[in-house]
Amino acid sequence: MAIESADDPIARVFAAFPDATAVARAPGRVNLLGGHVDYHEGPVVCLAIDREIAIAMRPRPDGRIVLRSLDLDGTVDIAADGRDDAPGIEPRWGRLVGGVASILAAHGRPPVGLEGVVGSNLTIGGGLSSSAAFEVAVAVSLVHAAGATGTPIEGAELALACQAAERAATGVPCGIQDQFASVLGRAGHALLIDCRSQHVEAIPLPGDIAIVVVDSRVPRTLETSPWPQRRADGLSCATDLGLRVLRDATPDQVAGNPRGRHVVSEMQRVWAFADALRAGDVRAAGALMTAGHASLRDDMEVSRPELDAIVEELLAAGAHGARLTGGGFGGCCVGLVDADQADGVAATVVRRYRERCGRDGMAYVAQAAPGAGVTPLAPVSSRPDA
């Protein structure tokens, strides 16, 4: 099937844990423009999408965090006070849980325990920020479980705590884009995030366009990909110029350095892309997306033949613009298309991708979704089906 229909992770986790007292959710994101610039304190445009991580949960009195995944192997069982060494936790997906617990403890969260079941309809390793969504879902679950005894943490502060948790747990020096999108997403809107000032502007998406996401089914993780080296290359360029990050570089200063050239030109494209979205100029916005992919491919060298093929087929099928989304080296591409053509474009691209690359990709039309939250549930004894 070319167009993927998403199951409902909230329904799945509740069915697996009917004694839950609340369900937390946190969305993934697609990056429309602004690749490899957030760690240079540059601007990005992204949106939270209607694919998410869900956790059915309830507090527990013994100071333990116990989580079971419906999609990954193993059960996480760690101390709620954050004392476990996050990089050493097994199974590996539990390291992010340990990182979040540790960072929230440093923010004053009391060691209230939690048990729950985790489910997702986000592709792992697809460039849709499944790791950030998981961190945020765990964080809002732990904050909710602490209740009135806890230290309130929300909004940008919560997103920054989750960024710190990922850095501590995995060693990946990620920027703030993914966590900010998952926490602060807004239905029907893209987010312009200035990663220096941390100012976030919600920009309405034109009603007659749609976002088509195409999964190459080429997985990758940031820890094992060349992503950390690309980051180091860009920061080395900044150092050579006497700068801390490339947010402060000019085009002339980086003209001879491909990594620096990408970062500086990409930031210029983001500002222009935001202007185009505000004006409803879809053609201009699409052209900037496509130019961004070319720069990621040629100057940043984070694309690969499968991603290039998907971008080419999106454009051939009628997309106004297309690019890889996420850090590159695999995962997904995203296309800006007319809403009434979205399903046809998705089906055509998946068929042509199979013919060109011999891989079964998947595609779907993504909606801009609200940010993370927790929904309390009625006690089991008071539910109609109890």
What mean pLDDT value characterizes the chain? Answer: 93
Is the previous residue joined to 251 through a cis bond, with omega within 30 degrees of 0? no
Q: What is the pLDDT of residues 349-365, one digit of tens each?
A: 999 999 999 999 999 99
So what's the pLDDT on residue 385?
Answer: 43
Closest CA to 75 of 94, 61, 100: 94
Locate 88 and state its tokens: 């050493």
Closest CA to 173 of 163, 159, 183: 163
Q: Is the pLDDT of residue 379 over 60?
A: no
Specify the DSSP class assigned to residue 53. E
Find out whether 117 and 19 touch, Cβ atoms under 8 Å: no
Domain positions in the chain: 9-193+370-379, 205-366
Q: What torsion, rounded to 10 degrees, do the Cα atoms 105, 111, 113, 117 define? A: 0
Question: Between β-strands 64-69 and 113-120, what pairing exists: parallel, antiparallel or unpaired?
Answer: parallel
Of the pLDDT bands very low, low, confident and very high (cuts 50, 70, 90), residue 383 is very low
Query: Does an H or E element contain 58, and which?
Result: strand 43-60
Superfamily in which the 205-366 domain is placed by CATH: GHMP kinase, C-terminal domain (3.30.70.890)
> 9-193+370-379: which CATH number, 3.30.230.10, 3.40.640.10, 3.20.20.140, 3.30.470.20?
3.30.230.10
Specify the DSSP class assigned to residue 339. G
Locate 331 and state its tokens: 């995962």
Neighbours of 157 (CB within 10 A): 12
pTM score: 0.92
CA distances from 165 to 118, 230, 328, 370 (A): 18, 22, 22, 22
Give the angle subtended at the CA of 353 by the CAs of 351 and 357, to the nearest 5°: 130
Active-site positions? 178
Q: What is the pLDDT of residues 313-361, one digit of tens each?
A: 999 999 999 999 988 999 999 999 999 999 999 999 999 999 999 999 9
